[in-house]
Structure 1
Amino acid sequence: MTLTELKYIVAVAREKHFGRAAEACFVSQPTLSVAVKKLEEELDVKLFERSSGEIGVTALGAEIVRQAQSVLEQAAEIKEIAKRGKDPLAGPLRLGVIYTIGPYLLPELVRRVIDTTPQMPLMLQENFTVKLLEMLRMGEIDCAILAEPFPDAGLAAVPLYDEPFLAALPKEHALARRERITATELKAETMLLLGAGHCFRDHVLEVCPEFARFSSDAEGIRKSFEGSSLETIKHMVAAGMGVTLVPSLSVPQHLVASGAHDDAGLVVYRPVVDEETGLPPSRRVVIVWRRSFPRYEAIVALRSAILACTLPGATRLD
């Protein structure tokens, strides 16, 4: 049994005609017919029902053809593995991204990767940090863009950028008239948070840890509300339900620079500072991968493409 014979029976099953199958395989019809007959004799089964019209596939033949297709696909993957070994940038790169980064980074990143390394298409997966780490360990993705901190899974990591947080406020809110806001001032507000599982929720609670209590009768603190995505949270802010913190990449830079409200005229964004340090609260975004991953050059190319993106408000890290 050879891969060539398997290729022939798959072609016959697809074309339902020996002549067309031979043309598709670039061989003569007698060559293909002899090879198919030889395989049937070796297996001692009848794969095809021959008639003057179309060729039919027997029930057992259909099962064998499906397995042959799987074998051919796996053989092709072996060639791809060898090809990637010679050129680490050849072949898809399976990239995971957390929900609070993907929508704001990926549109420009995908275009840059297409321009710089078209032979390395990105296969994208958005998910929570914990799920992406699990997929990395299982080999289901090659690398992931995450925000620190995250559970140490023995992965290699390199920093990409530091991203400050901005306060998102209803346009009529008293703090919306301020040029900047302190973390202390936010503690008296109704804070809108992402739901459990989002690492950005934890980042917000680091800035305003009081909201972790979720107590409606806590002194000076009102109950917090949750949303499923940053964009949903922004709509809740626009509706006057409270305030929130958002990463700078999620806000068009001209709105921050000019102090203007969003396009709908309902939300304003203001810088936030820590009263003790005078610095804005921020998160560090990194790219992580398995230490055994052989295509290090692909990681380097991806990192270069990320750092070439606009990254409004963020500080790139060497």
Structure 2
Amino acid sequence: MKPLPSLRHLEYLAALDEHGHFGRAAAACGASQSAFSAGIAELEQQLGVRIAERDRRHVLVTAAGRRLAARGRALLADARALVEMAGAEARPMSGEVGLGSIPTIAPFVMPRLMPALRKRFPELDLMLREDKTPALLEQLAQGRLDLLLIAFPYETPGCETMMLFRDAYLFACDRASPMAAVEAVRSRDIRSQSLMLLEPGHCLHSHALPVVEAAASAPEATFSATSLQTLVAMVAVGMGTTLLPQLAVDAGLLEGSQVVTRPLGYEGGKRTIGLAWRRNSARAAEFRKLGEAIQSWANSSGVGEPLAGLAQSIRKG
């Protein structure tokens, strides 16, 4: 029987597949390039498969190498789950948890939420990472993150999700706009606007589109921004209008600007904020408890709109 590859070898394999470069992959693993190269060579010898084709300038991970890397990531995730299970059994609600969130939530919720969670669970070390939803889901699947706080609806295959609260969209325009005088924005008002949204890739873009489409014959977005702050700056100088999440506005996004918001006077225009974790996570019970704490904090702090019931909010994808 061939000797089994070590977890370290599998880490090398996954890193080489991700970076496509020996130097960068070695650095990602905290290894010297010579040790990394030797490790890949040992793995090739153990498995009897060519993992990478290389010369002085280029590295190409073979098709077999990519397939093995995918399986290696799954094995690494299982090994991490084993460690998580042992930790959860020994000391629940303690240790490190990699928490990912998106740019339209993290800056506006985390500064208030994190202190509350640290007070409630002092032995839990939450390590926050901000990115777009697709990248966060990939990192979750690879075991580089444990838990996500994101916006729904969003497809999360292989995940268990827990909905926490709702967040409404608000119509935003500059203070001098005629729209600033209306009490609520009607669907026919949207049709005449020069609307700006976040660029594709942000879930806020896909969530806002149904709101726009609800106003029949609404024009296409005229500008795509990379952040809510950029959208606000463009609206402030009269370049157009936009839709902003209530969470961001309540957290002070518009302070010092000439931008005002108005509610939407027609059905639609809400997203749901929730958690997602790997379906087979050994810490699922802890994450549900954490979700209950976040939901309780949101309700008591006036963050978002409460859901009808917690029991109906847990789903498996």
TM-score category (smaller protein): 0.5 to 0.7
Q: Where does the alignment leave 5 or more consecutive residues of structure 1 unmatched?
A: 1-62, 64-77, 212-218, 256-260
Separation of aligned partners in 2, 1:220 and 1:88: 51
Separation of aligned partners in 2, 1:79 and 1:153: 23
For 1:41-92, what per-residue CA distance to the aligned partner results, in whole angstroms no more than 9, with x for missing partners? Answer: xxxxxxxxxxxxxxxxxxxxxx9xxxxxxxxxxxxxx988634322221101
Aligned position for 2:73: none
Aligned position for 1:95: 99
State yes or no: 1:305 paired with 2:290.
Answer: no
Amino acid corresponding to residue 224 of structure 1 in structure 2 = T
Give 1:280-295 correspondences, 5 Å limit.
280-295=268-283
State yes or no: 1:315 paired with 2:315.
Answer: no
Aligned position for 1:242: 240
Aligned position for 2:177: 173
SS of the residue corresponding to residue 294 of structure 1 reads: coil
Out of 220, 225, 236, the position equivalent to 1:227 is 225
Aligned position for 2:49: none
> What is the alpha-carbon root mean square deviation over aligned residues?
2.9
Pairs aligned (count)? 228
Separation of aligned partners in 1, 2:257 and 2:149: 32
Call closer, same or farther: CA 1:250–1:79 in 2, change over 3 Å.
Answer: closer
Contact 1:148 1:285 in 2 (8 A): yes
Aligned position for 2:122: 118
Contact 1:271 1:280 in 2 (8 A): no
Out of 266, 270, 281, the position equivalent to 2:262 is 270
State yes or no: 1:205 paired with 2:209.
Answer: yes
Call closer, same or farther: CA 1:223–1:270 in 2, change over 3 Å.
Answer: closer
Separation of aligned partners in 2, 1:112 and 1:270: 30
**Aligned-pair distance for 1:313?**
4.2
Give 1:108-147 correspondences, 5 Å limit.
108-147=112-151
Give 1:26-37 correspondences, 5 Å limit.
none
Q: What TM-score, normalized to structure 1? A: 0.65
Deviates more, 1:306-315 or 1:86-95: 306-315
Separation of aligned partners in 2, 1:228 and 1:127: 12
Call closer, same or farther: CA 1:262–1:123 in 2, change over 3 Å.
Answer: closer
Contact 2:165 2:304 in 1 (8 A): no
Out of 107, 110, 118, the position equivalent to 1:106 is 110
SS of the residue corresponding to residue 281 of structure 2 reads: coil
Call closer, same or farther: CA 1:133–1:223 in 2, change over 3 Å.
Answer: closer
Aligned position for 1:6: none
Amino acid corresponding to residue 265 of structure 2 in structure 1 = V
SS of the residue corresponding to residue 264 of structure 2 reads: strand
Call closer, same or farther: CA 1:79–1:209 in 2, change over 3 Å.
Answer: closer
Call closer, same or farther: CA 1:311–1:101 in 2, change over 3 Å.
Answer: farther
**Aligned-pair distance for 1:239?**
1.2
Aligned position for 2:313: none
**Aligned-pair distance for 1:101?**
0.8
Q: What TM-score, normalized to structure 2? A: 0.65
**Aligned-pair distance for 1:241?**
0.8
**Aligned-pair distance for 1:210?**
9.0
- Seq. identity, %: 30
Call closer, same or farther: CA 1:273–1:295 in 2, change over 3 Å.
Answer: same
Pick the structure with greater CA Rg: 1
For 1:4-46, what per-residue CA distance to the aligned partner results, in whole angstroms no more than 9, with x for missing partners? Answer: xxxxxxxxxxxxxxxxxxxxxxxxxxxxxxxxxxxxxxxxxxx
State yes or no: 1:164 paired with 2:168.
Answer: yes
Give 1:4-83 correspondences, 5 Å limit.
82-83=86-87
**Aligned-pair distance for 1:128?**
1.1
Q: Where does the alignment leave 5 or more consecutive residues of structure 2 unmatched?
A: 1-34, 36-81, 311-317
Contact 2:84 2:283 in 1 (8 A): no
